[in-house]
A = this chain, B = another copy of it.
Amino acid sequence: MTSRAPVPRVPRRGRRAGGGDTRGTIVTAARVEFARVGYDAASLRSIARAAGVDPSLVHHYFDGKPDVFVAAMQLPVRPADLVAGVLAGPAEQVGVRLATAVLDVWEVPAARDAFLGLLRSAVSHEEAARMVREFMGREVFGRVAQRLQVPDPELRAGVAASQMIGLALMRFVIGFPPVARASKEQLVAIVAPTLQHYLVGEPSRDAPRGLDSSHGE
């Protein structure tokens, strides 16, 4: 599932006869509505109202609010699919699956552009930060946290996400050479035990030597 192809963002049933680009109108209205009221307060009904269409049309084109958000933000993958893929399979490999899935998706140029667009907005505009925070909280971390049996599951899911967001930033945006040039396998080997520890609680495995100090281990 980590090599899942990007979900194509095509209308489920094509344009309505005589309806013009109804789907496009809904997507544009949704983008404005999410930025205006945030992810949680937006509803398929309020998006339909903003688009000037009947709510049934929103249901016609989209599988629900997360799907409208994915289309509005032009995400070429559904975070819910990514999360489902990471959570499926043996628990002792969840760190490897998460690290691999995130690095894989950032390597797809369209996905990178979309995430980078969201990140740029979020660091510059509080309304964008709120939208990202609410969407991720509800559709990503919330789903992950439900499955965790560690103390403070939401906090640990958030910290695991922070490792992967920071790593993607260093590798693909700031481009710090040792991180940018490392193979995906090297990075997965370093961060997977961390993610595993955050999400499942198993201690990290690989133990290289130490800090150059008389206080060293």
Question: Which of B149, B163, B197 lies in contact with A193, CB distance below 8 A?
Answer: B197
- The answer to whether the Cβ of A17 comes within 8 Å of any Cβ in the partner chain is no
A6 cross-chain contacts in B, Cβ below 8 A: none
A148 cross-chain contacts in B, Cβ below 8 A: 211-212
A130 cross-chain contacts in B, Cβ below 8 A: 175
Please give me the residue from chain B that is nearest to A169 by CB atom.
B165
Number of A residues with CB within 8 Å of any CB on chain B: 76
- The answer to whether the Cβ of A151 comes within 8 Å of any Cβ in the partner chain is yes
Please give me the residue from chain B that is nearest to A124 by CB atom.
B120
The secondary structure that dominates the A interface is: helix
A63 cross-chain contacts in B, Cβ below 8 A: none
Q: CA of A151 to CA of B210 in the docked complex: distance in angstroms?
A: 10
Which of A23-31, A49-57, A88-96 forms part of the interface with chain B? Answer: A88-96
- The answer to whether the Cβ of A78 comes within 8 Å of any Cβ in the partner chain is no
- The answer to whether the Cβ of A174 comes within 8 Å of any Cβ in the partner chain is yes
The 6 residue pairs across chains A and B that have the minimum distance between CB atoms: A166-B166, A201-B208, A162-B166, A91-B211, A150-B208, A154-B178
